[in-house]
Amino acid sequence: MTEWNRIRAIARTELRRTSRAIQQDAGQMIAFGFLALFLVPFSLSGLVGAYVFGEQIASGGLETPLHWGRLVLVYGWLFVAVFSGYRAYSSALRPDRLDGLLTTVSHRDLLGGIVLSEVLLWGLATVLYGVAASLAFAAGLRSIVAAPLALLAICLAVFTAFATGFLVALVVRNAGVRSPRLARLRTVAFLLAAIAYVALIYTQNVTAALDPVFWLLEPTPIGWYGDLALLGGASEASPARGVGVLVASVLFLLASARVLSTLAEWLWYADGAHAEVDAASTSASTTDGSRLERYLPRSVAGVVLADWKRARRAPITLSFVLYPLIVLINPIFSVIQTGTIGSSFPLWIVLTVGWVAGVLFTLNVLGNEGAVLPSTVLTAGPERALVVGHVLAGTLLVAPIAVILTAGLTLLSPRPLTSVLTLTVSSFVLVVAAASIATGIGAVFPRYEEINVSRSTKAIVPSTIAFGIYSVVIALVALPTLVGHSSVVGHVIESAFGTSQLSLALGGTIGTVLLAAPVGLLSMRYAIRSVERFHLE
């Protein structure tokens, strides 16, 4: 089999795997359906825009056509580069059965097959749309020459952006493989990037964030794609820059082929920083274990440490934590925009920290054990240590943060000083109760098997049903505190019945305590019984 045939076979296999994975996942099929519904009108409006753009240039109604042409192509280049980089980092560079593939084909053939599959999957559709946009632009401009020049500019921009995305993804992956510090901080960095992305979308500051990037790239060859596209219609387009970006793009693609191959070789054949990370985490875990065993039984301390190790080594298992944090986006932006902490913000913190405490480790008590579940349940009397250990693993992490955040933010808010005590107590109680309540719900709706978190990453996470029911229960348990400390409800009740807001706040805290204690204890009791009665199939 020749090299080209091997590359084609790998690409064909990757496309089949992608298609099979989408067909087997109803959620992905629904998501692609919604994406198609969104893209159809957007694509049509883009074609209309290309025609109107060409027509405006032909009629002389547009003063700076080169600026707008560069703007479209630079933003398009950025989008393709970011998208291809994300695809490369998240899935494309981690094909299934990587070790087996590298024993049968070279890394160059494997990389070629992966790149070809991505080009066929995404690049081909982009080029076809580029053909339609070029024809629409040429029709509006009434120039036959404009169509091939615009298409050439679009194709070069797409493929150089595609190569740039892969280059950046390979550099980032190689850095993570070789640096223990970067490997540990990688998840945090991507979480911060996701938060920044959501913040830009929510605050509608995307243009303000992209403008400096455009100003930076416009004088570079990336901005010259606008000159190449408009050579057939705009007098201000420079033929020298158009020819220059053509030559530069060809040289870049030729050089990137060599660099991509080298970076892929370094990545796939590397024996990276994992051993060092494991050694460091083992040393730290030994120290933490000796501290915990001073105050906890050894079996309970072992479960706590196992949960913390699992979270450190596989943060993807804590993906459900993101959903409670999403609730804080709107309140946080309100604080940023107003520059003050409102009276409702501490209430959001109380609810969110309690919600997070149960999601961390206790919403899938049995399933969290994974492959070691048989040895866990076969030990003598594991049920109490297992359940209590999971509860403490989340409580010990979240409770100090909850108390400090609630007390500090309440002091900074316009609330009375008495609310500092009542809200802090409510926050602590809700954290402890949430971790306890989640155990029973997770025992009713466990998940033992791994699911696809991404195309090449599987993890055991809580079931969606368990998370939904747990969220409702936590909201109901926190409701007395939220109502009792609500300024609106407090003013209404005070004016109607003469009850002071302090009494209402105390009543809300007591109500949450009276609800949380029995529900948490009963839930833990059920979880312990579930572990006792668990039988291996």
**For residue 281, what pLDDT is reported?**
45
* Residue 69 C-alpha from the chain's centroid: 32
How much is the pLDDT for 145? 86
Pull the structure tokens for residue 299: 């079996």
- Angle, helices 417-444/464-484, rounded to nearest 10 degrees: 160
How many of the other CB atoms lie within 10 Å of CB of 255? 11
Distance, in Å, from the CA atom of 353 to the CA atom of 438, rounded to the nearest integer, reads: 14
List the alpha helices (DSSP H) in 453-500. Answer: 464-484, 487-497
Element (H or E) spanning 204, and its range? Answer: none
Question: Which residues in the chain show pLDDT less than 70?
Answer: 1, 24-28, 180-188, 191, 198-206, 271-290, 369-382, 450-459, 490-491, 494-499, 534-537
* Confidence (pLDDT) at 192: 72
Amino acid identity of 38? Answer: F
Contact between residue 421 and residue 410 where contact means Cβ atoms under 8 Å apart? no
Whether the Cβ atoms of residue 430 and residue 398 lie closer than 8 Å to each other:
no
Q: Which two tokens stand for residue 319?
A: 């993906």
Contact 520, 428 (CB under 8 A): no
What pLDDT, on the 0 to 100 scale, is given for residue 151?
Answer: 93
Cβ–Cβ < 8 Å for 395, 481: no
CB atoms within 10 A of CB 172: 17
Cα gap 60→416, rounded to integer Å? 65
3-state SS assignment for residue 269: coil
Cα–Cα distances in Å, from 168 out to 44, 161, 195, 240, 272? 32, 11, 21, 29, 18
Q: What is the pLDDT of residue 17?
A: 85
Angstrom distance (rounded) from CA 178 to CA 37: 42
Is pTM beyond 0.75 here?
no
Please tell me the predicted confidence (pLDDT) of residue 277: 41
- Could you give the CA distance from residue 441 to residue 529 in angstroms, rounded to a whole number? 13
